[in-house]
Amino acid sequence: MILIVDDQKDIGKALERLLRYAGHEADSVTSGAEALAMLHIRKPSLVVLDVNMPEMDGLTVLKLIKGHTELNHVPVVMYSSDTQSKTMTEAKRLGAVDFLVKGTIGFDKLVARICELAGEPKVGD
C-alpha cells in the first residue's frame, strides 16, 4: 500500500486514483498526525509526502518516521511544490529517497517513479 500525505485533499485523492489504476493499493491523508497514526496500522510500502502542510510540515513528519525504530525502514518520497534547495537538501539528509517537484514532472513519470520506489504490487498489498 502506498500512503499519500498532502493537505490538499484533491491532490491526494487524484494521485490515489492514478496509483490504483497503475495496480497499487493507495490511500491518502491530509495531515502529518493522520499519517503517523496510519503508518502504525497499515504498514505501507512507500510514503509520498508533501512538505508545506499546516500544523506539522513534511520535513517534521519525515524526521519522526526515520527516527522511529518500527517505521524507519519505510521509504519516503517527497512530492512538493517547494523548490528551495535547502528544503531538498534537508529532505535528503533526513532520509527521503527522492524529491519530486509538483508541476515539473509529468503525471506518467510521476506514477512510474512512485511505482518503481514502491516495488511490485503484492497480492493483497
Contact 48, 88 (CB under 8 A): no
Which x/- pattern, by CB under 8 A, does the window 63-82 give for other proteins?
------------------xx
Nearer to other proteins, 74 or 105 (CB): 105
DSSP state at residue 121: P
Of 7, 59, 72, the C-alpha closest to 34 is: 7
Q: Which stretch binds other proteins (CB under 8 A): 3-11, 69-77, 91-99, 115-123?
A: 3-11
What separation in angstroms does the CA of 57 have from each of 1, 24, 44, 48?
22, 26, 20, 13
Q: Give 37 or 101: the residue with its C-beta nearer to other proteins.
A: 101
The amino acid present at 90, given as its one-letter code, is E
What residues numbered 79-118 form the site for other proteins, per CB under 8 A?
Answer: 81-82, 102-103, 107-108
Give me the residue label for grid cell 486514483. 17
25: contact with other proteins by CB under 8 A: no
Residues that bind other proteins in the complex, under the rule CB under 8 A = 7-8, 10-11, 13-15, 17-18, 21, 52-54, 57, 81-82, 102-103, 107-108
